[in-house]
Amino acid sequence: MPSTGPNIAPEKLARLGRLSIELPSWGFADTGTRFGKFLQDAAALTLEDKLDDAAQVHKLTGACPSVAIHVLWDLADGDARALMSAAQSRGLRIGSINPNIFQDQCYKHGSIANEDASVRRRAIDHMLASVEVGRAVGSTALAPWIADGTNYPGQGSIARRKRWIGEALREVHDAMPASMQLLVEYKPFEPAFYHTDVADWGMAYVFAKHAGARAKVLVDTGHHLLGQNIEHIVSFLADEGMLGGFHFNDRHYADDDLTMGSIDPYRTFRIMLAICEAERALGRDLPIEFMVDQSHNMKPKVEAMVQTVMTAQELFAKALLVDLDALDAARGRNDIVAAEECLRGAFATDVRAALAAWRGARGLPRDPLAAHRESGYEARAAAARLPRKRASGGSYA
């Protein structure tokens, strides 16, 4: 008889069942690099296509009930309530609201840190409008990415830009409903080459503290310098009550759109373990957002998202297998090897068969990726979307 994998305690499976992972609408559309866009026949063309793809991932995994939207890309001229209805009809809800204050030409020299007060006002007003979208659809998070920075020494006053950002985020925070969090994201570089205004978790922490009680830090697992200890940051922020959520992805060099765990699964496991330890200290689930931020230009969109969700579940299950009592006992006697072996043993455990059985018991496909490939969804989506793309003048053969 084939092995069913490790015996995962019911309370740990229950926690795994509460792991809800938000999908990004933009992750289903045609994307590329700075140098060009790579096209896929089945990639989403409209917001409805994106919601269909997200619903497919949720149907297969049972773990993705919400979809993050980018206001400029998804709702530029749309009706927020119609959007909510479209999501609900597919068994989904709208998750985080992502303003876009980096794409328009007026943001060439920055948005809320721009020397031009009228540009700063435009960026703030867009974020305030995004708050109203969130209010209309029942979103619990506003997640702006502040891409502001400078390319050359002397180009801007770093201190003055800091103050402008702080003032803007405070105004936006104060306009949010009580049910909404402001998630402050950071990135050490890109697109700016000399300095980035929100470059690390400490700066994001300061901005969040200044903004107000419902502002927290958003940790994007790809937005760190090489070699940075992300689980250290996660543990620190969680202990401070300042961890707002994650954008999950992976990267090897400097970009951050690879599927979770594809480069360094042990690092992602350690991040998951930091969450488990924080939850034990808190005595309940952390009130944070688990979100995916990936834009796949090589892998098929839906398959990549299913891969990421399955990997998240596998690595979270491995983290839940760590015997935290034994780990603390080893720490207490300064037994470094025993402490590390608590992690290594859990990470080395193959949980795939156990998770397949767990999914089956919940009425889900035991292997979501295989079920997706067998479903013919990709071919049907391509058949429905490719004629529309050709009619719209896209560069399709």
Q: What is the DSSP string of 315-344?
A: HHHHHHHS-HHHHHHHHHTT-HHHHHHHHH
pLDDT of residue 394: 59
Give tens-digit pLDDT for 17-57: 999 999 999 999 998 777 788 889 999 999 999 999 999 99
Q: Assign 3 a pLDDT band (cuts: 50, 70, 90).
A: low
Peptide bond into 368 cis (omega under 30): no
Lowest mean pLDDT: which of 32-36, 179-183, 229-233, 321-325? 32-36
| Residue 246, domain member (yes or no) | yes
Q: How far is the C-alpha of 148 from the C-alpha of 124, rounded, in Å?
A: 13
- Please give the Cα distance from 305 to 349 (Å, whole number): 23
Q: What is the DSSP letter of 193?
A: S
Question: Looking at the domain assignment, is residue 4 inside a domain?
Answer: no
Query: Rounded to an integer, what is the distance from CA 157 to the centroid of its chain?
Result: 31
The fraction of the chain above a pLDDT of 90, given in percent, is 88
Number of domains the chain contains: 1
Average pLDDT (91-108) is 96
The model's pLDDT over 330-364, given as tens digits with 9 standing for 90+, comes to 999 999 999 999 999 999 999 999 999 999 999 99
Locate 126 and state its tokens.
């867009």
Inside any domain, residue 394: no
Confidence bin at 185 (pLDDT 50/70/90): very high
Q: What is the pLDDT of residues 299-337, one digit of tens each?
A: 999 999 999 999 999 999 999 999 999 999 999 999 999
* Average pLDDT over every residue of 196-225: 97
Does 27 fall in a domain? yes
Q: Is residue 397 part of a domain?
A: no
Q: Over the chain, what is the mean pLDDT?
A: 95
Tokens encoding 301:
């969109």
Asked whether residue 183 is assigned to any structural domain, the reply reads: yes
The alpha carbon torsion through 139, 142, 143, 144 (nearest 10 deg) reads 140
**Residue range(s) defining the domain that contains residue 72:** 14-382
How far CA 224 is from CA of 194, 197, 202, in Å, comes to 16, 15, 12
pLDDT at 241 over 70: yes
Range from 26-40, 141-155, 159-173, 213-227 carrying the lowest mean pLDDT: 26-40
pTM of the predicted protein model:
0.95
User: 3-state SS string over 30-72?
Assistant: CEEECCEEECCCCCECCHHHHHHHHHHHHHHHCCCCEEEEEHH
Cα separation of 222 and 33, whole Å?
A: 16
Quick check: 254 pLDDT over 90? no
pLDDT for the residue 240: 98
194 and 181 Cβ atoms separated by less than 8 Å? no
> Within a domain: residue 9?
no
What are the backbone dihedrals phi and psi of residue 290, each rounded to the nearest 5 degrees, phi first? -100, 105
Residue 397: pLDDT band by 50, 70, 90 thresholds?
A: very low
Distance, CA of 234 to CA of 271 (rounded, Å): 7
| Average pLDDT value for residue range 372-391 | 95
What per-residue confidence (pLDDT) applies to 1? 38
b/e map 76-85, b = 16+ CB within 10 Å: eeeebeebbe
CA angle 173–23–95, rounded 5-degree value:
35
Percent of the chain with pLDDT over 70: 97
Q: Is pLDDT of 77 > 80?
A: no
The Cβ of residue 159 has, within 10 Å, a number of other Cβ atoms equal to 7
Assign residue 162 the CATH number of its domain.
3.20.20.150
- 3-class DSSP state for residue 130? helix
Residue 74 lies in a domain: yes
Give the side-chain half-sphere CA count within 13 A for 230: 28
